[in-house]
Amino acid sequence: MTPPLPASGVFDGKAHLLPVRVYYEDTDFTGVVYHANYLRYFERGRSEFLRLAGVSHTQLRAQDNPMAFVVARMEIDFKKPARIDDALVVCTTYERMERARLHVRQTIERDGELIAQAAETIVCVGLDGRPRRPPQALTDALKAWFLQETP
């Protein structure tokens, strides 16, 4: 038996793996995951990646010049339906950072079978909603995880 992954998931190389169980509340009346819930799974994957990489959303908001992340673009391909009680794994990789933008790729799999995949652009913003470069400490914390070198 494979041991369970920790609640925040684990790193496998530069990829972050987060286990997600499909509950009744995630599905429509047929037992298939409602399409909008994939967004929640992807969000959890991105957030837990950052948490394990040493980036705290709470600390970002508590800075002298607070910041947050917003999704500017998301393209999702739904390959197969996920169903009630499925054990899924959200795989997250941060490809690169360009100024205020983080480029992210994510997949959701069930027993190694691709369920959905997403390409995303996440933007660092001030609390006024305007894009801004992330602080150097954030860039330094993430640099080792990027698949491509940051310009």
What is the number of structural domains in the chain? Answer: 1
Separation between Cα atoms, residue 103 and residue 121, nearest integer Å:
5
**36-69 confidence digits (pLDDT tens):** 999 999 999 999 999 998 888 888 888 888 999 9
- Alpha-helical regions (H) of the chain: 37-52, 57-62, 136-143
Phi-psi region of 111 (alpha: psi -120 to 50; beta: other; left: phi over 0): left
Contacts of 34 (CB under 8 A, 6+ apart): 26, 27, 28
Q: Domain containing 94 — which CATH number?
A: 3.10.129.10
Q: Give this prediction's pTM.
A: 0.90
Domain that holds residue 62: 10-143
Instruction: Confirm whether 28 is a catalytic residue.
Output: yes
Classify residue 85: in a domain, yes or no: yes
Q: What is the pLDDT of residues 69-81, one digit of tens each?
A: 999 999 999 999 9
Average pLDDT of every residue of the chain? 91
Within a domain: 88? yes
Q: Name the active-site residue from 12, 28, 85, 140.
A: 28
